[in-house]
């Protein structure tokens, strides 16, 4: 399943466990025959969108991993990953995304021990992005 809208507001926490909510876009995605044609209409929340979706690529598990990386980064730091939005084509997207830059927070001393962890899922090349299973294995070895 591809969620297409992973963000902090779509994660419910109960008894210390998180569950992904708001599967509306994921349900719609399963009914689309040609995801590439409809991708531009169902890209989720602009702040958490993967860079390849700017170019109307079809949503993918790799795009969800980008969103999960940004969500985890925001939850960990209490700060939005990208602070500035920029007009790009017909919508507003994070300026850093258009410029091909990772969130500035990754360069701060606060994350110096964990920046590599985030760069595994915040890779601009979706083919090089970690899968959910690989990232969870990596996460278990980090102190967040």
- Show the DSSP H helices in the chain as ranges: 24-31, 35-38, 61-77, 95-98, 115-119, 132-140
Active site residue 5: yes
Q: What is the DSSP letter of 112?
A: T
Q: Please list the active-site residues.
A: 5
């Amino acid at each position: 399943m591809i969620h297409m809208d992973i963000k902090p507001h779509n994660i419910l926490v109960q008894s210390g466990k998180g569950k992904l909510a708001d599967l509306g876009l994921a349900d719609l995605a399963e009914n689309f025959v040609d995801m590439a044609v409809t991708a531009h209409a169902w890209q989720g929340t602009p702040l958490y969108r993967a860079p390849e979706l700017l170019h109307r690529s079809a949503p993918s598990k790799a795009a969800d991993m980008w969103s999960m990386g940004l969500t985890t980064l925001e939850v960990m730091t209490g700060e939005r990953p990208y602070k500035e939005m920029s007009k790009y084509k017909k919508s507003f997207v994070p300026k850093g995304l258009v410029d091909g830059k990772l969130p500035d927070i990754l360069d701060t001393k606060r994350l110096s021990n964990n920046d590599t962890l985030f760069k595994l899922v915040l890779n601009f090349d979706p083919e090089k992005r970690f899968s959910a299973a690989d990232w969870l294995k990596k996460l278990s070895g980090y102190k967040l």
